[in-house]
Amino acid sequence: MFEGMAVLMTAFYTIQGDYFATVRISGDNDHGLNLIVLHTSGANTDETKEYNFLGHEASPKIEVENRDMLIVLARRTGIVVASQVYEVDTGAVPQGYLLIPRGGFNILCEQDEQMRESELSPEKVEVQA
């Protein structure tokens, strides 16, 4: 993959009620890419959680609720090659989406509501609060 190609990822999500869900971001990229997901709560913008993982691995489950923001950065050798901001909206699930894109570039994200987490790669991540 070179800098001109899109970063590929899938957001596997499970709805936990009217306003809550869990989501795992799974990368489908080569080993030289690092993905960073920043999770900011819509209710408490002072708290941001950071998840770092390789571009071919998956994040841990991230508990989200409506109005939360997920910011995805993709880095190769320290250079940001893609980014995307998503807002969580459980109301969009009937149309097949949990994460609504709000701006960014060079990321293609498929969204899939399911329970097949056993199909994801093992968790090998750093979580920083």
2-23 pLDDT, tens digit per residue, is: 456 789 999 999 998 889 999 9
The token pair at 50 is: 């950071």
How many domains does one find in the chain? 1
Residue-number span of the structural domain to which 81 is assigned: 7-115
**pLDDT, tens only, 33-44:** 999 999 998 877
CA angle 76, 98, 18 (to 5 degrees): 145
The arithmetic mean of pLDDT across residues 95-108, rounded, is: 93
Question: Is 88 domain-assigned?
Answer: yes
The CATH number of residue 42's host domain is 2.60.40
**pLDDT, tens only, 48-67:** 999 999 999 999 999 999 99
What is the pLDDT, as a whole number, of residue 30? 82
Instruction: Examine the pLDDT at 72 and tell me if it is beyond 70.
Output: yes
- The mean pLDDT value of the chain amounts to 85
What is the pLDDT, as a whole number, of residue 18? 87
Question: Is 2 domain-assigned?
Answer: no
What is the pLDDT, as a whole number, of residue 31? 78
Residue partners of 3: CB distance under 8 A and separation at least 6: 76, 79, 81
Instruction: Examine the pLDDT at 98 and tell me if it is beyond 90.
Output: yes
Question: Is 76 domain-assigned?
Answer: yes
Q: How many CA atoms lie within 13 A of 129 on its CB side?
A: 3
Question: Is 123 domain-assigned?
Answer: no
pTM: 0.82
Instruction: Examine the pLDDT at 95 and tell me if it is beyond 50.
Output: yes
Residue 77 Rama label (left phi>0; alpha psi -120 to 50; beta): left
Q: How many angstroms separate the CA atoms of 28 and 44, rounded? A: 31
